[in-house]
Amino acid sequence: MFDLLPLCVVLIVMFLTGSLIIRSRKLGDLSGRYVFITGCDTGFGNMLAKRLDSLGMNVFAGCLTPKGQQDLEKATSKRLVTVALDVTNEDSIRKAYAEVKQKLPHDKGLWGLVNNAGVAGNASPLEWQTIENYRKCNDVNLYGMINVTTVFLPLVRKAKGRVVSITSIMGRVALVPSPYVVSKYGAEGFCDCLRYQLYNSGVTVHIIEPGFFKTAIINIEDSERDMRKSFQALENEQKEFYGEHYISELMDSANKTIDELVSPNTYKVVDAFTHALTAVYPRARYVVGFDANIQFRLIWTLPEWIGDRLVTSRFPKPAGCQNR
The pLDDT score that the predictor gives to residue 323 is: 63
- Residue 320's pLDDT band (cuts 50, 70, 90): confident
Cα(190)–Cα(282) distance, integer angstroms: 19
Q: What is the mean pLDDT of residues 149-167?
A: 98
Would you give the DSSP letter of residue 80?
-
The residue ranking higher by pLDDT, 137 or 216, is: 137
Helices (H), 173-322: 178-197, 220-232, 236-242, 246-261, 267-278, 290, 297-301, 304-312
Residue 42 has pLDDT above 90, yes or no: yes
Task: Please tell me which of 26-35, 178-187, 240-249, 315-324 the model is most confident about, judged by mean pLDDT.
Answer: 178-187
The pLDDT score that the predictor gives to residue 87 is: 98
Q: In angstroms, how far is CA 297 from the centroid of its own chain? A: 17
The residue ranking higher by pLDDT, 212 or 324, is: 212
- Residue 24's pLDDT band (cuts 50, 70, 90): confident
CA dihedral 306→255→188→152, nearest 10 degrees, is 180
pTM: 0.92
Q: If 0-12 CB within 10 Å is exposed, 13-18 middle and 19+ buried, where does residue 313 land?
A: exposed
Contact predicate 51/24, CB 8 Å: no
The residue ranking higher by pLDDT, 148 or 12, is: 148
Cα(105)–Cα(108) distance, integer angstroms: 5
Q: If 0-12 CB within 10 Å is exposed, 13-18 middle and 19+ buried, where does residue 67 land?
A: exposed
The pLDDT score that the predictor gives to residue 324 is: 57
Phi, psi of 165 (to 5 degrees): -125, 140
Q: What is the mean pLDDT of residues 124-137?
A: 96
Q: What is the mean pLDDT of residues 127-134?
A: 97
Percent of the chain whose pLDDT exceeds 90: 79
Residue type, 103: K
When the pLDDT of each residue in the chain is averaged and rounded to a whole number, the result is 93
Cα(163)–Cα(186) distance, integer angstroms: 16
- Residue 44's pLDDT band (cuts 50, 70, 90): very high
3-state secondary structure at position 175:
coil
Cα(292)–Cα(209) distance, integer angstroms: 8
Would you give the DSSP letter of residue 40?
-
Q: What is the mean pLDDT of residues 237-246?
A: 93
Percent of the chain whose pLDDT exceeds 70: 97
Phi, psi of 204 (to 5 degrees): -110, 155
- Residue 181's pLDDT band (cuts 50, 70, 90): very high
Q: What is the mean pLDDT of residues 47-70?
A: 98
Domains of the chain: 29-218+263-300 (3.40.50.720)
The pLDDT score that the predictor gives to residue 2 is: 52
Cα(36)–Cα(149) distance, integer angstroms: 11
Helices (H), 116-235: 131-141, 143-159, 178-197, 220-232
- Residue 6's pLDDT band (cuts 50, 70, 90): confident
Would you give the DSSP letter of residue 295?
I
3-state secondary structure at position 196:
helix
Contact predicate 190/142, CB 8 Å: yes
Contact predicate 164/209, CB 8 Å: no
Alpha-carbon torsion (37, 98, 109, 204), positive or negative: positive
Residues forming the active site? 180
The pLDDT score that the predictor gives to residue 175 is: 85
CA dihedral 122→176→262→82, nearest 10 degrees, is -50
The pLDDT score that the predictor gives to residue 321 is: 86
- Residue 260's pLDDT band (cuts 50, 70, 90): confident
Q: What is the mean pLDDT of residues 105-116?
A: 96
